[in-house]
């Protein structure tokens, strides 16, 4: 099965959580919007699903994944689908629901991080909502990020199988997503993270272990891994990193 | 199976999406935090899971559902679990993922609606972020709500089985959630909804049919259905309903 990932071609964004899972599993996939138009790829292929009139299951927004005849949207839903197929989640239903629950909680934090630079409207520039962003980012870093990270640290701590993973005894897509979350927070808020991250030793150790995995390390060093930038979800605006 | 629903006892909030599914199915359930402390219910029973130290799968926030030994959090994840058990989703995996994808998109809109009165911080009062709320609510009503409702109207329109439902040929939990979304939007933004809702005839008709279902009608008329109020997600602040 060759998977087709559809996501904006110039940012890590939500698509990165899918890319990491596909890369760790060594899956056969194509990052459609980053391909060439003459090969039937590129942005037109992505926009076809968003604006076309023939998709029976139209996605609301990228990322979405095409797997044979199925088109699946919503980041956490894509991972719910891919997890068992890529061997990145335990077999039993309770573990899969638990992994998905954690992934949805990561999605919630991600939305709050996005809204810290866009608290008023996605369609406005950051510069048009900067005073509001300053207020929201202060709350994000003072209360919300610590609340979420404390939660996930506790999840690892209570994992009855191994506190080196968030779910079960082996690597799951949730661990990969937590790696990306730590990576993004360090990029966007280096000062705040330097101050708070020592309170979450299990998450930081997990981040390091994921980073060192053979396929992940190769991916991160490759051109397939886009750099963080100020069009994505994790943005480095020093004034927000109080 | 007696289900235990844990949610804040004084608001519809996210818990209402679960209540509607349980009610439509005639399921045996207890709304734990609304019960009496002397029966082992009430707020202490809810806080036990949030603040206790023994839950192996601690939820980040309500709602969460206890089903035997399992404790399941995140609204859409609870419905993913309950859907097949309550007969509120088709049997095949592609339909279930599609229903879940739509539910996650409803969750996204719900978060945007919440943030329209709390654009800066959940921990602050509305009054402390009112100028920002005025800006965000204007964008919500002008761009975001129409974008989401247009999307769901299209989903119904393209449903190859029946455009009277969002998924498949029979009622699903997604239809119940769309009922609640329309109901909440009409409560919070009566002027805006009166202006725009005629553009979404399938969703409005769906809302009416759900409302008239025997068990739903009985539930809505009962004391089990909390009233909308200004502590919930859908709040009627006339100044935001431009």
pLDDT digits (tens, 9 = 90+) for B157-207: 999 998 899 999 999 999 999 999 999 999 999 999 999 999 999 999 999
Report if residue B56 sits inside a domain.
yes
- Mean pLDDT (chain B) is 97
Both B137 and B178 in one domain: the answer is yes
Q: What pLDDT does B53 receive?
A: 82
Instruction: Order across the sheet with A3-6: list the strands.
Output: A29-31, A3-6, A64-67, A70-73
Low-confidence ranges of chain A (pLDDT < 70): none
Could you tell me the strand order of the sheet in which B64-67 lies?
A: B29-31, B3-6, B64-67, B70-73
Residue B52, pLDDT score: 82
Write down the pLDDT at residue B197.
Answer: 98
Residue B17 has pLDDT above 90, yes or no: yes
Does the CB of A162 have a partner CB in chain B at under 8 Å?
Answer: no
Where is B65: in which H helix or E strand? strand B64-67
Write down the pLDDT at residue B3. Answer: 98
Domain co-membership, A82 together with A99: no
Give the Cα separation of B68 and B70 in Å (integer).
6
pLDDT of residue B51: 87
- pTM score of the predicted model: 0.98
Kindly determine whether residue A70 and residue B132, on different chains, have CB atoms separated by under 8 Å: no
The answer to whether residue A140 sits within a structural domain is yes
Q: Do B108 and B202 fall into the same domain? A: yes
- Asked whether the beta carbons of B129 and B118 are under 8 A apart, the reply is yes
Q: The tokens 């809109």 sit on which residue?
A: B109
Same structural domain for residues A104 and A78?
no
Q: How far apart are CA B148 and CA B170, in angstroms?
A: 22
Is the model's pLDDT at B55 over the cut of 90? no
Question: Same domain, yes or no, for A77 and A105?
Answer: no
A62, A102: one domain = no
Query: Which of A 17-36 lie inside 8 A of B, CB atoms?
Result: none
B23 half-sphere exposure, CB direction, 13 A CA radius? 24
Give domain status of residue B220, yes or no: no
- Expressed as residue numbers, the domain containing B25 is 3-86
A104 and A199 belong to one structural domain: yes
- Nearest by CB: B97 against A81, A94, A148: A81
Residue A226 lies in a domain: no
Interchain contact B98–A (C-beta under 8 A):
yes
Residue A45 lies in a domain: yes
Q: What is the pLDDT of residues B205-229, one digit of tens each?
A: 999 999 999 999 999 999 999 999 9
pLDDT for A51: 87
| Residue at A228 is within a domain | no
* Predicted local distance difference test score (pLDDT) of residue A54: 83
Within this chain, do residues B205 and B110 fall inside the same structural domain, yes or no? yes
In a 3-state reduction of DSSP, which class is residue B70?
A: strand
In angstroms, what separates the C-alpha of A131 from chain B's closest C-alpha? 10
Asked if A109 and A28 sit in the same domain, the reply is no
Is residue B165 classed as helix, strand or coil in its secondary structure?
A: coil
Flag if A72 and B148 touch (Cβ within 8 Å). Answer: no
Among residues B144, B112, B185, which one has the least CA distance to residue A119? Answer: B112
Are A162 and A70 within one domain? Answer: no
Query: Are residues A158 and A102 both part of a single domain?
Result: yes
Is B28 a domain residue? yes
Identify whether residues B183 and B119 lie together within a single domain.
Answer: yes
CB contact under 8 A, A135 and B121: yes
Whether residue B151 contacts residue A60, with contact meaning beta carbons closer than 8 Å, is answered with yes
Residue A219 belongs to some domain of the structure: no
Give the separation between CA A64 and CA A73, rounded to whole angstroms: 4
**How far is CA A199 from each of CA A182, A187, A194, B218, B219, rounded to the nearest angstrom?**
13, 18, 10, 50, 46
Q: Answer whether B186's CB lies under 8 Å from B135's CB.
A: no
**Encoded tokens for B165:** 């439902």
Q: Which two tokens stand for residue A175?
A: 């661990």
Chain B, residues 37-66, CB within 8 A of chain A, namely 55-60
Ramachandran bin of B83, using left for φ above 0, alpha for ψ from -120 to 50, beta for the remaining angles: alpha
CB contact under 8 A, B135 and A136: no
Count of Cβ atoms closer than 10 Å to residue B202 Cβ:
19
| A126 within 8 A of A136, measured Cβ to Cβ | no
Q: State residue A53's pLDDT score.
A: 82
The mean pLDDT of B68-96, rounded to a whole number, is: 97
Nearest CA in chain A to B50: A151
Residue A49, domain CATH: 3.40.30.10
Q: How far is A194 from chain B (nearest CA, A)?
A: 23
pLDDT for residue B162: 86
How do residues A116-145 score in pLDDT, each as one tens digit?
999 999 999 999 999 999 999 999 999 999
Q: Which of B143, B147, B149, B141 is nearest to B239 (CA)?
A: B141
Q: How far apart are CA B151 and CA B172, in angstroms?
A: 18
**Tally of CB atoms within 10 A around A142:** 15
Given a cut of 90, whether residue B6 has pLDDT beyond it is yes
Beta-bridge partner residues of B6: B64
Q: How many domains does chain A have?
A: 2
ipTM over 0.85: yes
CA distance B205 to B199: 12
């Amino acid at each position: 099965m060759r998977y087709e990932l559809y996501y904006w071609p110039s940012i890590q964004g939500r698509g990165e959580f899918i890319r990491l899972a596909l890369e760790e599993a060594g899956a056969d996939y194509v990052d459609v919007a980053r391909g060439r138009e003459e090969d039937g790829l590129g942005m037109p292929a992505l926009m076809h699903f968003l604006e076309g009139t023939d998709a029976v299951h139209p996605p609301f927004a990228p990322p979405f994944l095409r797997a044979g005849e199925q088109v699946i949207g919503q980041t956490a839903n894509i991972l719910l689908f891919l997890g068992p197929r890529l061997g990145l989640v335990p077999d039993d239903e309770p573990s899969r629901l638990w992994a998905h629950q954690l992934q949805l909680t990561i999605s919630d934090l991600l939305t709050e991080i996005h809204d810290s630079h866009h608290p008023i409207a996605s369609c406005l520039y950051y510069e048009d909502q900067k005073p509001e962003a300053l207020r929201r980012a202060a709350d994000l870093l003072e209360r919300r990020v610590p609340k979420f990270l404390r939660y996930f640290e506790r999840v690892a701590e209570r994992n009855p199988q191994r506190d080196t993973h968030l779910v079960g005894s082996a690597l799951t897509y949730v661990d990969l997503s937590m790696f990306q979350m730590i990576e993004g927070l360090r990029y966007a808020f280096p000062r705040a993270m330097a101050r708070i991250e020592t309170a979450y030793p299990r998450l930081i150790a997990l981040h390091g272990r994921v980073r060192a995995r053979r396929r992940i390390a190769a991916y991160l060093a490759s051109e397939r891994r886009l750099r963080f930038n100020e069009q994505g979800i994790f943005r480095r605006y020093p004034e927000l990193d109080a």
